[in-house]
Homo-oligomer: A and B are copies of this chain.
Amino acid sequence: MDEFGLIARYFAPLAEAPGALGLKDDAAFIPARPGFDLVVTTDQIAEGTDFFPGDPAEDVGRKALRVNLSDLAAKGATPFGYLMTLTLPRADQDWLESFVKGLAEDQKIYGLSLLGGDTGKGPLTIAITAFGHVREGRMVRRGTAKAGEAVYVTGMIGDSGGGLAVSENAGAGLSEIDRAYLIDAYRLPKPPVEFGIRLSSFAVAAVDISDGLIADLGHIAETSGLAIEVAAELIPRSPALRGLWGEGPDAVIRAATAGDDYQIAFTADRARENEIQAAAQQAHVIVTRIGIVTAGKGVRLLYRGEELAVPEAGYQHF
């Protein structure tokens, strides 16, 4: 099957937006939307690095999309559409059908359309560029935190890292339910897209947690020229993850440096806490206050008032 056959059969049905032109053109167009900026983000995932060979194709497509929706959510944007560049070792029809089915389901859940893309031959890699709308000038940034603000995080931290460990044969003593919960967290991130849409009304600075909670809070701290202090005991961890890695400072550090959470960390005036919790409830998301923005530099992790040494975080490519 040539590239045009692949597009017509598998990808054209995903191109629901009028500007996608059924993937029959050189380019797509995104209609003018007066009063809104377009937020643009891009992330790729690769077999062997971000998912395992043999992971369900349906989950692989959704993960590729969701790691990008996570960025849109952290910037306060409403998803609109995406481009996909797919590199495939071969055109396996069963795999492609399942891959596309996963994307179609996520398009419905998150309300977006494929707009275009490119297909090539090579090691399995999925690069997605996602687009979302945010009111003019209202994209939530990293570098805008102010001293005295509270630091919040959505969802649970460390589950994806726990799922990766379980996939690599840790956690023999866990129940099947806990193992499945953690593996699912690794395979299929659940970015708080609905909460993200409300984010710009109260968040002052925000980041999506992909490198690890500490590393990503470090990005807010660095670009804001301030420090962030986190109470380690407050970092939300699931019962399954507590079962896998236990309690105590080492377990918390592991969760806070594992990465791939695709949750949102943000800063806000503490006086807005009721409004934040109301938004969280409406979006069916848990939001936990874990720290504070202060003068200084870097991220300090305190456990029962004592500072923990945090290892160098973040994934090193080269």
Write the residues of chain A forming the contact surface with B, with a CB cutoff of 8 angstroms: 1-4, 6, 19, 21, 24-44, 46, 49, 71-72, 74-75, 77, 83, 85, 87-88, 90-91, 115-123, 125, 127, 129, 131, 134, 136, 139, 141-143, 207-208, 219, 223, 314-318
Contacts of A31 in B (CB 8 A): 37, 136
Shortest beta-carbon contacts, A-B, top 5: A27-B41, A91-B318, A30-B38, A29-B37, A26-B71
Contacts of A44 in B (CB 8 A): 85, 118, 120
Contacts of A21 in B (CB 8 A): 141-143
CA distance A1 to B317 in the complex (A): 8
**Known: A2-B317, A129-B129. Contact between A123 and B121, CB under 8 A?**
no
Total copies of the chain: 2
Contacts of A315 in B (CB 8 A): 3
Do residues B116 and A25 form an inter-chain contact, with CB atoms below 8 A? no
Ordered by A's residue number, 30 sampled pairs between the chains whose C-beta atoms are within 8 Å are A1-B318, A2-B316, A2-B317, A3-B315, A3-B318, A19-B37, A25-B75, A25-B141, A26-B74, A27-B74, A29-B39, A29-B75, A29-B134, A30-B38, A31-B37, A32-B33, A32-B35, A32-B38, A40-B83, A40-B116, A42-B118, A44-B85, A44-B118, A46-B122, A85-B127, A88-B318, A118-B127, A120-B125, A121-B317, A123-B123
Q: Which of A24, A27, A31, A121 has the most CB of B within 10 A?
A: A27
Q: Which residue on B lies nearest to A30, using beta carbons? A: B38
